[in-house]
Structure 1
Amino acid sequence: MSFLRTEALSRSFGGLAAVAGVDLSVEPGEIRAIIGPNGAGKTTLVSLISGRVPPSSGRIEFDGDDITALKPWERVLRGIVYTFQITSIFRNLTLAENVMLAAQRAASRDQPLWRGLDDRAVTQAVDAALERVGLASRAQELAGELAYGHQRLLEVAMGLALRPKLLILDEPTQGLSEQEIADFCALVRSIAMDATILLIEHNMDVVMALAQRITVMNNGALLAEGTPDQIMNHAEVQRAYLGT
């Protein structure tokens, strides 16, 4: 059984089909890239999976359960974590405080709030998440003072503190330097040892370096799926997206 599966998943906005009958199957521990031209439906698809957008029709299964009707926060509690294309950090809080909010939510899955949280465990989770994304030395800085690329890394740290089973990364390398992108690729590989990853990314070097399989979308539908080599040599993908 697939770890994540969608069946005929669709979403229309005012008669426009942003996602049209998508059947997607992702295995546990996989790094799956979703690519396609602007407006192809990539972000709408992952928004359906995370629960931010309700489907017009279709079904979503996660870890053996039908989650189609679950609220976004219920999906977070099940381990589905989405880092946004536009950062959603708390700019007036420190990096550590931002990550602590996520770590406290994760801790509440294991310990009812009325019994109190293990402050030491929460602090350790914050420190570990910031260390993994390379921001530990800036833990007490205000999040709003970070450059945009580092805000993206902070959001990834918040996602890690939630202990995801499925981590959805939407354009995570935008605003990062070449060295930061290389470090990020190493980070994603380490995350994949414990979680499944859906990656929306326009940087094809990153996609080809990380993805085990690639799903290509165009006009709200699946155009092709396959390994990086298969996608690079797919004639329709070349015409619709790669420009060759």
Structure 2
Amino acid sequence: MTPLIETRALSRHFGGLKAVEAVDFTLQPGEIRAIIGPNGAGKTTFVSLICGRIAPSSGSIALDGNDITRLPAHKRVLAGIAYTFQITSIFPKLTVYDNVALSVQRRLLKAGRVVAGELDAGVAQALARVGLADRAQTLAGNLAYGHQRLLEVAMGLALEPRLLILDEPTQGLSDGEIEGFIALVREIAKEATVLLIEHNMPVVMQLAQKITVMNFGRVLAEGSAEEIRANAAVQEAYLGTGRDG
């Protein structure tokens, strides 16, 4: 099977800082994969390279076997890669509905059509999936932080992506909302591949079919939840002093 995403020797340096260093990574279609690691391990930089927000210093990225290393971020969105940010990137002065409508419109324009009924249906479906249907006319900036995170997930879902990248998606969610989120990701995985960065280890252990552990910009370990739990190098990395970034 051709991997959905494959990186080879992917690196990103900021001056003398090797934020990501020679990472080989393979993600299969339909997989739920988690990337974990201490603060500053390079997780967000790595997924930012995949979605095109930053350019690599060296190495390559392929989507379905096609090189996308130099493809601009907006074209990667059109190719089916959606990314929700570690810090919310909603439009606070627009309503919840209008935030999601922007994503639906982009998807419909790609398909060569924008029909009012399809726009409304797409927004309604995305908001219902994340539990925000009753807040459609609320200004996004007035939502609680956890609900802003869910809105951002809805914006990603509205694109109907092949790959949905979620960066710290449960941050700010209540216990009940986290349970709902776990169920949501399992539903999403029936239609798309999910790659998430997450510090909430119970969430990771419940969701991820495979876990990639990063430390100092490199892949430290990969495996199932049970294999990662038992890995001494992973335990040592998490017991070390956290680093910002």
**Band the TM-score falls in, shorter-chain normalisation:** over 0.9
The list of structure 1 runs, each at least 4 consecutive aligned residues, that deviate by more than 3 angstroms after superposition, is none
Residue in 1 aligned with 2:178? Answer: 181
Residue in 2 aligned with 1:231? Answer: 228
The Cα offsets for residues 122-168 of structure 1, whole Å up to 9 and x where unpaired, read as: 11000000000000011001000000000000000000001110000
The Cα offsets for residues 39-61 of structure 1, whole Å up to 9 and x where unpaired, read as: 00000000000000100000000
TM-score (ref. length: structure 2): 0.96
The one-letter code of the counterpart of 2:105 is Q
Q: CA deviation at 1:241?
A: 1.6
SS at match of 1:237: helix
Residue in 2 aligned with 1:55? Answer: 56
User: In 2, distance between residues paired with 1:121 and 1:168?
Assistant: 25
Residue in 1 aligned with 2:191? Answer: 194
Q: CA deviation at 1:64?
A: 2.3
Aligned residue-pair number? 239
The Cα offsets for residues 100-122 of structure 1, whole Å up to 9 and x where unpaired, read as: 001000111101xxxx6111111
- Structure 2: stretches of 5+ with no match in the other structure: 241-245
- Identical aligned residues as a percent: 64
SS at match of 1:99: helix
The one-letter code of the counterpart of 1:5 is E
User: In 2, distance between residues paired with 1:95 and 1:140?
Assistant: 6
Q: CA deviation at 1:242?
A: 5.6
User: In 2, distance between residues paired with 1:217 and 1:91?
Assistant: 33
Residue in 2 aligned with 1:70? Answer: 71
Aligned pair partner of 2:162 in 154, 162, 165: 165
User: In 2, distance between residues paired with 1:208 and 1:77?
Assistant: 31
The one-letter code of the counterpart of 1:77 is L
The one-letter code of the counterpart of 1:183 is G
**Is residue 8 from structure 1 mapped to residue 9 from structure 2 by the alignment?**
yes
Residue in 2 aligned with 1:220? Answer: 217
Residue in 2 aligned with 1:122? Answer: 119
User: In 2, distance between residues paired with 1:126 and 1:64?
Assistant: 32
User: In 2, distance between residues paired with 1:117 and 1:125?
Assistant: 11
User: In 1, distance between residues paired with 2:22 and 2:95?
Assistant: 42
